[in-house]
Structure 1
Amino acid sequence: LLQLGATPENRFSEYLKVSSIKETGNQPTGKEGVETVLNNLSNLIKQERELSKLASEIDDNATVGLIDGFLEGQEKTVWMLVSFLDKSYKK
């Protein structure tokens, strides 16, 4: 952000104000916990795809590469968690 002339936020309380992922106040376990992680990852992936698209439109290849790397790892994690849920909770 500094290289792009912006000032990064450094307070967690400010991140919470603008985040689409909210704290739940509980500690879900089992299937509920995995589903919470999946929902949050899906939210992040959607936002990151949009960010990658916007960065591409302004030829910011460094940001595109960074975000695409995040997406690759997160999409693999989603695939593994969905596979786990399908195998573990079909009963």
Structure 2
Amino acid sequence: MASSKKESQTMKIDIGISHSDRAKIVEGLSKLLADSYTLYLMTHNFHWNVTGPQFNSLHNMFMTQYTEQWNALDIIAERIRALGFPAPGTYKEFSSLTVIKEVEGVPKAQDMVKLLVNAHETVARTARSLFSTVDEVNDQPTADMLTQRLDVHEKTAWMLRSLLEE
């Protein structure tokens, strides 16, 4: 996280949010980016490796989900850049920032769904935890992005949970 503490531009940023407040927001967004990347990787892995009677529906669903997540990574990283800091972008940085545990081996299809529910809920909690900071400093663009991410992750978790009902 040390790299994102240092502002990346020589020209002063004057958007109505102080350097220290932007640094706090970036710290949270960096965690959101790491959680989101980890979720993306998990979903893509499961897309490649799912088997069983639900193969076709899960394979296609996971592809839709990882494609959406891939696009979201850019949105989050670009918000970090707009706030004047470098975005984390290495496995080492992501692994130190994320709270989502890497999955070892190839779980059964139903376990994949459970793991993805938990990961989506984790990303939602990470996004939600930033609201007090961004609201306090009137960072509406970040609040808007967080709202959009929450909508996606909560809806996706609900849809995945629905697959687990008997």
Structure 2 runs not aligned, ≥5 long:
1-79
Determine which structure has greater relative contact order: mean sequence separation of CA pairs < 8 Å that are 6+ residues apart, divided by chain length: 2
Aligned to 2:103: 24
Alpha-carbon distance between aligned partners in 1 of 2:118 and 2:130, rounded to the nearest angstrom: 19
Equivalent of residue 155 in structure 2, options 68, 76, 79: 76
1:35-74 aligned at under 5 Å gives the runs 35-74=114-153
CA contact (8 A) 1:52 1:68 kept: no
Structure 1 runs not aligned, ≥5 long:
none
Q: What letter matches 1:52 in structure 2?
A: F
Alpha-carbon distance between aligned partners in 1 of 2:118 and 2:85, rounded to the nearest angstrom: 30
Equivalent of residue 89 in structure 2, options 10, 21, 28: 10
Alpha-carbon distance between aligned partners in 2 of 1:76 and 1:2, rounded to the nearest angstrom: 28
Segments ≥4 residues shifted beyond 3 Å: none
Of the two, which has the highest radius of gyration?
A: 2
Q: How many residues align?
A: 87
Alpha-carbon distance between aligned partners in 2 of 1:81 and 1:19, rounded to the nearest angstrom: 22
Alpha-carbon distance between aligned partners in 2 of 1:3 and 1:76, rounded to the nearest angstrom: 28
- The CA RMSD measured in Å over matched residues stands at 1.3
Q: Alpha-carbon deviations, 1:61-80, whole Å to 9, x = none? A: 00000110011111111111
